[in-house]
Homo-oligomer: A and B are copies of this chain.
């Protein structure tokens, strides 16, 4: 039965529902679970994680789910310490007017080597994973499995399915959570070549976060012309008010190479008087300015 055959169907409320970049078992789901745990700690949870989380097949699909009301919030990666910015997410923030950043969270990325129960390391002939994960574990694979054949999978989660169906003894490089979901064993953990592999995720929603006193604001802007000192003058508005910039990045506009949109993360909330003043001053110097949102700065949850 589709929507047309049921004219009385009303929009189911997306309240409390969280869209994430699927499938189930990805690092984005792990980030979403972390986020829910944080809500519970703060005492503002909406129900069980299982009922609230919904996977979507791409970053634009997560964004659209939030913009259209299917979900209240969406979890997408925005920056990885090895791969750099996730430009699909930046471009959505630039283009989509119905979305704000409500929170950020940082997740360490740990790759694990998963096998079917009772598989021995010396038996492994094939290793499956997304090419990016295979690349991030290159040293480990060359040292421990120099003769194994490396085979691409569509995602680190699909790799587990590929491994289970492999005709030869095989392993998959996947997140730890994929092992729980697929009843397979973790043969090795933390196998990424660089130990400081972390991803920053943002929570997208229809509005940003109220002032907390320990905030961060993300915005973008561009200039109608390209001449020396324009970006410098903009940064001066922050510097002379003693506002620290956590991040400065330039993205080529998709219209032509050489034209740039600048993205800045500054400390403070857009409702803070001096931040507000700086942003207004910047607005006067740019041809386009958009605030992605103000939100609490990420702080590692304390275990005490």
Q: Is the CB of B243 within 8 A of A232?
A: no
12 contacts between A and B (CB under 8 A): A58-B138, A82-B87, A82-B88, A84-B87, A130-B131, A131-B154, A229-B239, A232-B232, A232-B235, A233-B239, A248-B250, A249-B250
User: How many angstroms from the CA of A256 to the CA of B194 in the assembled complex?
Assistant: 12
Number of copies: 2
Are A131 and B155 also in contact (CB < 8 A) when A231-B235, A232-B239, A247-B250 are?
yes
Asked if A47 is an interface residue, CB under 8 A from chain B, the answer is no
Interface-located stretch among A10-18, A115-123, A145-153 = A145-153
What chain B residues lie within 8 Å of A231 (beta carbons)?
235, 245, 248
3 pairs of A and B residues whose beta carbons are closest in the complex: A232-B239, A229-B239, A152-B152
Are A248 and B248 also in contact (CB < 8 A) when A106-B257, A151-B154, A153-B152 are?
yes
Q: Is the CB of B249 within 8 A of A248?
A: yes
Closest to A244 in B: B228
Name the one of B83, B130, B255 contacting A152, with C-beta atoms under 8 angstroms.
B130
User: How many angstroms from the CA of A123 to the CA of B212 in the assembled complex?
Assistant: 58
Asked if A285 is an interface residue, CB under 8 A from chain B, the answer is no
Asked if A213 is an interface residue, CB under 8 A from chain B, the answer is no
Asked if A206 is an interface residue, CB under 8 A from chain B, the answer is no
What's the minimum C-beta distance from A141 to chain B, rounded to whole angstroms? 12
Asked if A207 is an interface residue, CB under 8 A from chain B, the answer is no
| Per-position 1/0 for A120-152, Cβ under 8 A of B | 000000000011001100100000000000111
What chain B residues lie within 8 Å of A79 (beta carbons)?
252
Asked if A198 is an interface residue, CB under 8 A from chain B, the answer is yes
What chain B residues lie within 8 Å of A151 (beta carbons)?
154
What's the minimum C-beta distance from A263 to chain B, rounded to whole angstroms? 10
User: How many angstroms from the CA of A226 to the CA of B229 in the assembled complex?
Assistant: 23
In chain A, residues 241-295, which have Cβ atoms closer than 8 Å to a Cβ of chain B? 242-252, 254-258, 260, 262
User: How many angstroms from the CA of A267 to the CA of B84 in the assembled complex?
Assistant: 24
Asked if A236 is an interface residue, CB under 8 A from chain B, the answer is yes
User: How many angstroms from the CA of A150 to the CA of B153 in the assembled complex?
Assistant: 10
Asked if A227 is an interface residue, CB under 8 A from chain B, the answer is yes
What chain B residues lie within 8 Å of A242 (beta carbons)?
228-229
What chain B residues lie within 8 Å of A240 (beta carbons)?
229
Closest to A159 in B: B152
What chain B residues lie within 8 Å of A228 (beta carbons)?
238-239, 242-245
Kindly list 20 other residue pairs between chains A and B, CB separation below 8 angstroms, not including A84-B251, A248-B249, A248-B250.
A58-B138, A79-B252, A81-B257, A84-B84, A84-B86, A84-B90, A152-B152, A152-B154, A196-B257, A198-B257, A200-B257, A226-B244, A228-B238, A228-B239, A228-B242, A231-B245, A232-B245, A233-B239, A248-B262, A249-B250
